[in-house]
Amino acid sequence: MLIATWNVNSIRTRITQVEDFIDEFEPDLLCLQETKVEDSLFPKDSFNKKGYQVYTYGQKSYNGVALISKLPLQDIRKGFNGESNNNEGSTYFDEQKRIISSLINGVRVVNVYVPNGSSIDSEKYAYKLKWLTCLYEYLENQSKREEPLCLLGDFNIALNEKDIHNPKRFNNGIMASLREREALEKLIKDRLEDVFRLFEQNSGHWSWWDYRSGAWQRDQGWRIDHIYLSKELISNSKSCVICKKIRGNIQPSDHAPVIVNINWPPMDFDDDSQEEGLF
């Protein structure tokens, strides 16, 4: 099962690139962030014609998340409401459309667009930390259903120094502050694992390059787009890659897609030929 995450930074601007990505990689589920469009205006027909279902949770000009799937999805959940202990707080956070989830082959996929936070001395930073606390409560309640979990999206957090091209310069700033990292570590704790690091331990692998200062041309990036899997999914993971080349498109998103291949539902392969063609 191929699951991909991609902050497209406007689905209508990047629609052709998303279609090309689907044609090339044929993901079972593509999770988008920062779609920047109301649900009624999302270009669903483009994906329906390719045999994909589309579920959206969007708003005008900002934020927005979507699920694009060629496999059946069940129990679609939009926003924090219904999963958080604090319904009043979750209603407040749901003014910004940043989280959508569903079941696919019995796996709960939670697609998030974590707030950026702007700067550590801003109100937006405090909002980000509170939003992450709400996400923690959401995942705690989800865990009671004992569903295998895939938590993915744009986290706007580099978890450690290996995830930043120049950690000495950026550590303790926005997206690399101690409180952000602690909040993310609390989310994943003993239940989830960063699947990309299962296959690649070295630095130098980025998923986001700032549009400014020639960051792409100099390969000065950050790894802030993550896929976290619960133990039963980690043990059945076959690969996880960042599709870096897509960042080099004309008029690209500033993010590159990340794809994980999970042998799920688990299958036994009798010989190498049966694995041929798997990503």
- Closest C-alpha among 169, 151, 172 to residue 33: 151
271 in active site: no
Give 227's contacts (C-beta < 8 A, 6+ positions apart).
Answer: 3, 5, 150, 151, 152, 194, 195, 196, 240, 258, 260
The full length of the chain comes to: 279
Give 187's contacts (C-beta < 8 A, 6+ positions apart).
Answer: 132, 135, 136, 139, 151, 228
Q: Sort strands 65-69 and 237-242 into parallel, antiparallel or unpaired.
A: unpaired
CA neighbours closer than 13 Å in the CB half-sphere of residue 24:
12
Q: Which residue in the list 154, 163, 194, 254 is annotated as catalytic? A: 154
Tell whether the torsion through CA atoms of 216, 156, 196 and 17 is positive or negative.
Answer: negative
Q: Which residue in the list 52, 55, 57, 113 is annotated as catalytic? A: 113
- Looking at this protein, which amino acid is placed at residue 125? Y
Structural element, H or E, at residue 117: none
User: Token digits for 21?
Assistant: 């990505």
113 in active site: yes
3-state SS string for 188-245? HCCCEEEHHHHHCCCCCCCCECCCCCCCCCCCCCECCEEEEEEHHHHCCEEEEEECHH
Active site residues: 113, 154
